Amino acid sequence: MAINRRDWLRTSLLSGLSLAAAPAAFCEPEPELPAGYLPPKGGVLKARLSANENPYGPSPKALKTITEAAPDGYLYAMEYARKFRKQVAETEGVPEEYVLLGAGSGELLTAASLWAAYRPNAGRTIVAPDPTFDALPRTSLKHGISMDKVPLVAADGYDINLNKLNERVGSQTGMVYLCNPNNPTAITVDPAKLRAFCAAVGAKTPILVDEAYIHYTPDPKAYSMVDMVMKGSNVIVTKTFSKVHGFAGLRMGYMIAKPEILEEIAKFSTGGSGLSMTTLRAAMVSMQDTDFVNYSLGKTKESKEYLYGVLKEHTYEPLPSGANFVMFPIRMKGEDFVTRMMDQGVSIRQWKFDGQYWCRVSLGTMPQMQAFADGLKVIS
């Protein structure tokens, strides 16, 4: 029986999406997997709470768009890249030339680190809080940039101390980098204080603000530093679809900065040409799907409140979270905590800073959070 090619492709993709809904082996892009990512030996991974993913996405509308776009996968997607760039600009309230697309914000953070490393007459040091998201610092170190780390300490409530960051900025500073809300602590910097910091320090050196988790703040527009870019500050903002939109495996992100800065950073990126037809078209739909975004935020809030209750029951004191994960101090070595939780089928991450071991747990579905609670009960 003759089968229409487009119908066949759609049927095949729908079957693939059904399979994708089933538990899958973990695939991490980094060459070395941190403890807490690998599945338990001979066991079942009940809850993957180690990568800050959104278990509710992509949205049904985005999935439908992917099936519709897949048959056009033989076409280059530059038309949709232009359309999506325009859509981002309109959504963010900036001109199109202020937007650079990338395969997740990770590509753009890497491009920014290379720009910092190779632009002429610039400082060779990046000032950043410690700990923070390590994609940009890791790449910078590989290319001869040194990191001037400002430790997060209990006296500041483990918030990013902007005054201390400012004090570290000097003639050798090529960039200031911070993640807001911060990863791994999930603490959010006060937006008024951050704006003042951007205005003052931006006059001395570029500031890159990684806003991967900005959707989880009370008011994403108010907490974002995009308005500082439009005011002429030397600020670079990155955003991603990997979190609230559930695109971690589809790869979509963008950067907002003054055109002269983007022009230089773009030399170290694909400029959006590496984005697929399916991802671009799905992102265009997902960006407008406020119902799904609100649904994801609501479910995340439910899981967070449940987790707070579990931690309180076991006398753990979590840091205040403004993201889709929670960090709390633990009473054993972090490596042991990760291993013992993995033995219970739950993957989490651990850090050590300020003389203390910490656990970072991503917020999953309620069954996943219940699996975490069961595991914690066994090992506590």
Residue owning tokens 């931690």: 311
In this prediction, residue 33 carries a pLDDT of 53
Sorting pLDDT into bands at 50, 70 and 90, what band is 337? very high
In this prediction, residue 251 carries a pLDDT of 96
For the beta carbon of residue 81, count every other beta carbon within 10 angstroms.
Answer: 18
Burial category of 146 from C-beta neighbours within 10 Å (exposed 0-12, middle 13-18, buried 19 and up)? middle
Are 83 and 53 within one domain?
A: no
Sorting pLDDT into bands at 50, 70 and 90, what band is 4? very low
Are 312 and 251 within one domain?
A: no
Are 137 and 101 within one domain?
A: yes
Distance, in Å, from the CA atom of 225 to the CA atom of 60, rounded to the nearest integer, reads 30
- Give per-residue pLDDT as tens, 309-319: 999 999 999 99
Residues recorded for the chain: 380
Distance, in Å, from the CA atom of 243 to the CA atom of 51, rounded to the nearest integer, reads 10
* Non-local CB neighbours of 214 within 8 Å, separated by 6+ positions: 180, 181, 220, 223, 224, 239
Sorting pLDDT into bands at 50, 70 and 90, what band is 2? very low
Distance, in Å, from the CA atom of 38 to the CA atom of 127, rounded to the nearest integer, reads 32
Least confident of 25-29, 181-185, 228-232: 25-29
For range 231-244, the mean pLDDT = 97
Residue 334 forms part of a structural domain:
yes
Sorting pLDDT into bands at 50, 70 and 90, what band is 371? very high
Report how many domains make up the chain. Answer: 2
Spacing of C-alpha 263 from chain mean position: 23
> Has residue 37 got a pLDDT over 70?
no
In this prediction, residue 380 carries a pLDDT of 85
- Give per-residue pLDDT as tens, 93-143: 999 999 999 999 999 999 999 999 898 888 999 999 999 999 999 999 999
- CA 274-128-207 angle, 5° bins: 60
Residue 96 identity: E
In this prediction, residue 127 carries a pLDDT of 97
Residue 144 forms part of a structural domain:
yes
> Which of the listed residues 286, 302, 330 is the one where a domain comes to its end?
286
**pTM for the structure as a whole:** 0.88
Distance, in Å, from the CA atom of 253 to the CA atom of 245, rounded to the nearest integer, reads 11
Residue 18 forms part of a structural domain:
no
CATH number, position 116: 3.40.640.10
In this prediction, residue 36 carries a pLDDT of 56
* Contact yes or no for 117/145 (Cβ under 8 A): yes
> Has residue 14 got a pLDDT over 80?
no
Please report, to the nearest 10 degrees, the dihedral formed by the alpha carbons of residues 358, 364, 365, 368 taken in order: -50
In this prediction, residue 41 carries a pLDDT of 63
Least confident of 4-13, 156-165, 300-309: 4-13
- Give per-residue pLDDT as tens, 267-321: 999 988 999 999 999 999 999 999 999 999 999 999 999 999 999 999 999 999 9
Q: Domain range for residue 372? A: 38-57+290-379
Are 175 and 236 within one domain?
A: yes
> Has residue 18 got a pLDDT over 70?
no
* Contact yes or no for 356/373 (Cβ under 8 A): no
Spacing of C-alpha 24 from chain mean position: 21
Distance, in Å, from the CA atom of 88 to the CA atom of 230, rounded to the nearest integer, reads 15
For range 364-371, the mean pLDDT = 98
Burial category of 229 from C-beta neighbours within 10 Å (exposed 0-12, middle 13-18, buried 19 and up)? buried
> Which of the listed residues 286, 312, 336 is the one where a domain comes to its end?
286
Are 309 and 367 within one domain?
A: yes
CATH number, position 343: 3.90.1150.10
Average pLDDT, the chain: 90
- Give per-residue pLDDT as tens, 47-64: 999 999 999 999 999 999
Residue 355, token pair as written in the block: 């003389």
Are 330 and 247 within one domain?
A: no
